[in-house]
Structure formats: structure tokens, C-alpha cells
Amino acid sequence: MTLHVIEAGLRSTIQDAGRTGHLRSAIPAAGPADGVAFEAAQRLVGNDPGDAAVEIVGLPFRFTLDAPRLVAVTGRDVRLRTRGSIPAWTAAFVRAGEDVTVEGGERSRFSYLAVSGGIAVEPVLGSRATYLPAAIGPLPRALAPGDALPLGPARRGADGAGHAALRSDDSEILVLRGPHADRIAGADALLRGRPYRVSERSDRMGVRLEGPALDAGGTEILSIGVLPGAVQVPHGGEPIVLLADGQTTGGYPVVASVVAVDLGRVAQAVPGEALSFYEVDRAAALEALRVVRRWLERL
């Protein structure tokens, strides 16, 4: 069973939940930029959250399947077009040979295409995730027209079609106070919602923010381990939110950490869009995580 890529978008890749077994060799976990959208797509077609799907960057993405399968697309400002238009966040049954296009508008950035059974390429270093900067993964490059992606056995059939989920689109991002917030001038304003704009120079490694500069005293720290969601303050003072491809260690002070369930919203913001960060305590962060997990597990 195979997915045939006809149009591949700009920088689409195979991703699974990520590769956390080699962080000490400085290999970033990779995995989806928007973990919640990724997992929702997987669950809508009956897959495990650890299965592999396609992360689409740059629409449209066009494909056929050589056997009928349940598919789902999630993301922002995105939908499926076959015989008609099918909204995102909804499972759809696709016939063998049917020409399917994932299309979207100006507010789309990372979209997820899950097919029941998952993309069944052989894991590399314990994962099917793609890390493009060092060409790590079973298919360590951006997808291209003509690619034939093997699929695992279907997990859910046609009766799953029409099953839908929806996530609200929100520019208010919950954060926890970072380990160095106390020594960064301007930290409190950032933690209380002063808006920042998303820079053009954002990618899967990190979202660069433009706005009032923070001041960490101009000094670097001895490198520490960092993880996705960390909000670093580099020399210029404009913060960077680390995403899935972010470095495993960093020498910049960390002012905040985006809560796990809101990191996808940061990744999905398009250049020029405003984001505001609000400090919460760990109990509130954990409650937000529980709410999203319960929602995902019901899909």
C-alpha cells in the first residue's frame, strides 16, 4: 500500500513523535512543529500518536493512494479537495486512485496529513522523524513529486469518515517563568502579555520574535540543555522560541517556556502576526495539558 506524491509543497517531510534517544549526541528530537495538530490527525484515522505522518510546508500538496484509506488533514486555514471540499480536522475516506489535494490559505504554515496505518518507512536512530539540517531520518530530505511512501495496515475503515475535531485559534500563549527570568530586564513585561510579532526568519528550529528588546546583560551563560518551548534571549534581545528542530543545548539565558500544548500555536503563527505570552504556574500548565490530552484521547 502506497501514497504517491504528485505535488510536494515546499519543504514537506515525514515526521513521527520525535527522536529523543540521541539528545546527548546533540541530535534534536525533530518531530512535528505543531504536536497537537499532528496527534489529532493521527487519532482521527485510528493511528497511534507514535506513527508517522506527513508534515506539509507550502501548499498545495497533491497525492493519490493505491488502496482506499481513511485520511485526515489538520493545521490552520487548510482543507482537503477531492470530489468536493472536505474541512480540515475531519476524517475522510479516499478511494484508490482518487486525486486528492491539500490546499490552504495565507494563514497556513504547518499542515499534517495522516493516513490510516501511518507512513511505514524503516526508523533511523529509533525514529521516523526527519531532521533536515543534518539529513537525519529514513527519507532525509524534503518530499518530492514521484515519491512513493509505504503505508502500514489500515487501523480504521470507512465508518470513521466524518469524525471531526476542532481546535480554537488563539494568539494568547501560556508560558512558565524561565530559569533565568530574574536576571533579564523586561522579562516581566513579556510574561504579562506585551505583544511580539513573528519574524520572517522563523523556521522549524525556532520562531524569532520582533518587539521590545529584553536585556540579559549582554553575557552568555555556560551552555545548558534546552528543549522545545524554551524562549531564549540572544545578544540583540529579541526572543526566540525553540521548536522541534531546536538545538539540544544553548548558551543564551531562558526567559520563559511555552507550555507544551500551546507550542503548536506559536509554530503556526505567520510572519507579522502578533503573539502575547502570559505567565501561569505549573498547576495551570498541567491542567491545560490534561484538558488537551483528554480531548485528544476521545478522538
Partner 1 sequence: MAVRVVPFGEAALLVELEQRIDPAVAARAAAIADRWEALGHGPAVPTYASALLRYDPLVLDASAAEAAARAILDAPAAPLAGRLIEIPTRYHGPDLDDVARLSGMSPREVVSAHTSREHLAYFLGFMPGFAYCGGLDPRIVAPRLRSPRTRVPAGSVGLVDGQTAVYPAASPGGWRLIGTTDVVVFDARRDPPALIHPGDRVRFVEVRMAGGVPPAKSR
Binding region for partner 1 (CB under 8 A): 20-28, 124-125, 131, 133-136, 140, 176, 178-179, 221-227, 229-230, 247-250, 254, 257-260, 282, 285-286, 289-290, 293
- Report the helix count and the strand count for the chain, using DSSP H and E: 4, 20
Rounded distance between C-alpha atoms, residue 230 and residue 221, angstroms: 15
Rounded distance between C-alpha atoms, residue 31 and residue 227, angstroms: 13
Q: Which is nearer to partner 1, 80 or 173 (CB)?
A: 173
Q: Which is nearer to partner 1, 152 or 234 (CB)?
A: 234
Closest distance between partner 1 and the C-beta of residue 174, in Å? 10
Closest distance between partner 1 and the C-beta of residue 222, in Å? 5
Q: Which is nearer to partner 1, 67 or 125 (CB)?
A: 125
Closest distance between partner 1 and the C-beta of residue 108, in Å? 27
Closest distance between partner 1 and the C-beta of residue 170, in Å? 18
Q: Are 164 and 87 in contact (CB under 8 A)?
A: yes
Rounded distance between C-alpha atoms, residue 153 and residue 150, angstroms: 10
Rounded distance between C-alpha atoms, residue 78 and residue 286, angstroms: 29
Q: Which is nearer to partner 1, 14 or 151 (CB)?
A: 14
β-bridge pairing 254-258 and 274-279: unpaired
* Cα-trace Rg, the chain: 19
Rounded distance between C-alpha atoms, residue 56 and residue 43, angstroms: 18
Closest distance between partner 1 and the C-beta of residue 9, in Å? 24
Closest distance between partner 1 and the C-beta of residue 208, in Å? 14
Q: Which residues contact 217 (CB under 8 A, 6 or more apart)?
A: 183, 185
Q: Which is nearer to partner 1, 152 or 278 (CB)?
A: 278
3-state secondary structure 242-275: ECCCCCCEECCCEEEEECHHHHHHHHHCCCCCEE
Closest distance between partner 1 and the C-beta of residue 117, in Å? 26
Q: Which is nearer to partner 1, 101 or 248 (CB)?
A: 248
Q: Which residues contact 169 (CB under 8 A, 6 or more apart)?
A: 76, 265
Closest distance between partner 1 and the C-beta of residue 89, in Å? 24
Q: Which is nearer to partner 1, 119 or 226 (CB)?
A: 226
What angle do helix axes 35-44 and 260-268 make, rounded to 10 degrees? 100
Q: Which is nearer to partner 1, 86 or 226 (CB)?
A: 226
Neighbours of 200 (CB within 10 A): 9
Going by the DSSP 8-state scheme, the letter that residue 151 receives in this structure is B
